[in-house]
Amino acid sequence: MKVSIVVPIFNARSYLERCLRSVMAQSCGELECLLVDDGSTDGGLELAERALAAYAGPVEFRILRHDRNRGQSAARNTGIRAATGDYLYFLDSDDEIFPDTVARFAACAGRGDVDFAVGEFEIEGGAFPRWAVRLAAGVHRGRDAILGSYLRSDWQTLVGNRFVRRRFLVDHDLYFAEGLVHEDDLWTLMLACRAESMGVVKGPTYLYRVHGDSTMTANPVRRFENWVRILERMEAHLTAEGLGTRPDALRFVAVRRAELVGRARQAGVNAYAVYRREVRSGRTFDRRAFQDMGIGWKIRYLHCLLPVPVGYAFLQAALRAVPWLARLRSWPAGKPAAGTT
């Protein structure tokens, strides 16, 4: 099995050498690494070229160049089209992988009939140290089950740390939507809608860095606007695939739309206007979505039954209160809940 690692590069000089060293340390067999320079201006590419000139190991490195900055999605698409591996592995230039990462994914893929595989994350600089997968290790089969696991958020939707059969991507035209951020969510939904098999590798396989220059923290207003567009595309994709009336799909969309209110507040956007336009406009209470929700979201979803101003106030209160009540309920008897002392 040959594996192609795709690394988009744009102004990641501070992290790039550590990223490359982690690729050079891989214990897998036949391996190529495609570095896609997306118009970097910080001298990072020159640093990469010096590191590669001094490297004499088995990994085949290739540098591909864009004549201007076109975004991560375009860089990943360039990598997909240039790759020669049986499987692709996506790695961001400010992150790292562990020495046995590719070997563990390749072992999970076995004979090469697994459409894609997911792993777990170790996190540096975030609010919590790890993202786990809520599925058993091994291969899971069946399109319905795989989509269900996505809609339940059983695994992370980040593109990084995703191991994907190249033929599966190309045959289903599963390229990235260019010109957007948060494309991860849409792309992984597209995978989940088409995949017949999915591998799960337990234990961290990827070191994910949260920092001030990352896509997840930069330009909050633009990120919010893109998230609205991505959610619209996700809803349209589910409908186009004939999956939009599944109760878990209805619940997924209803929850993500309600979450836009909190995202708007975090981004400094008018949250009430977002509620009127994106959450309530043309949308009514859906019993099938309600029945598929857990108790916490059942309470929140009651906002749809109220007049818009009242529903907005109720949702705001419920978004704050329900998680607090859940923590209080799970607190050991005889101890005060966090934040009450």
- List, in order, residues 6 or more apart from 273 with CB less than 8 Å away: none
The pLDDT assigned to 215 comes to 55
Amino acid at residue number 264:
A
CA dihedral 244, 200, 183, 173 (to 10 degrees): -70
pLDDT in tens, 245-287: 999 999 999 999 999 999 999 999 999 999 999 999 999 999 9
Could you tell me the pTM of the whole model? 0.89
280: left (phi over 0), alpha (psi -120 to 50) or beta: alpha
The pLDDT assigned to 127 comes to 76
Structure tokens at 36: 């896609």
Nearest in space to 190 (alpha carbons), one of 250, 138, 115, 93: 115
63: left (phi over 0), alpha (psi -120 to 50) or beta: beta
With a pLDDT cut of 90, the percent of the chain lying above it is 79
For residues 119 and 329, give the distance between their C-alpha atoms in angstroms, rounded to a whole number.
31
Nearest in space to 208 (alpha carbons), one of 128, 318, 306, 308: 128
Nearest in space to 153 (alpha carbons), one of 19, 33, 256: 256
Structure tokens at 31: 């391996």
Domains and their CATH numbers in the chain:
3-209 (3.90.550.10), 220-329 (no CATH)
Q: What three-state secondary structure class fits 289?
A: helix
* HSE-CB of 141 using CA atoms within 13 angstroms: 3
The pLDDT assigned to 8 comes to 95
The pLDDT assigned to 200 comes to 97
With beta carbons less than 8 A apart as the criterion, state whether 1 and 109 touch: yes
* HSE-CB of 287 using CA atoms within 13 angstroms: 0
The pLDDT assigned to 327 comes to 52
For residues 283 and 311, give the distance between their C-alpha atoms in angstroms, rounded to a whole number.
13
The pLDDT assigned to 180 comes to 84
The pLDDT assigned to 222 comes to 87
Q: What is the mean pLDDT of the chain?
A: 90
The pLDDT assigned to 307 comes to 96
| DSSP state letter for 246 | S
For residues 256 and 271, give the distance between their C-alpha atoms in angstroms, rounded to a whole number.
14
The pLDDT assigned to 218 comes to 62
* Helix H or strand E encompassing 4: strand 3-9
Longest dimension (CA), the chain: 67
The pLDDT assigned to 301 comes to 95
The pLDDT assigned to 116 comes to 98
The pLDDT assigned to 139 comes to 96
List the chain residues with pLDDT less than 70: 212-218, 323-341
**Cβ count within 10 A of residue 70:** 18
The pLDDT assigned to 325 comes to 55
| DSSP state letter for 177 | P
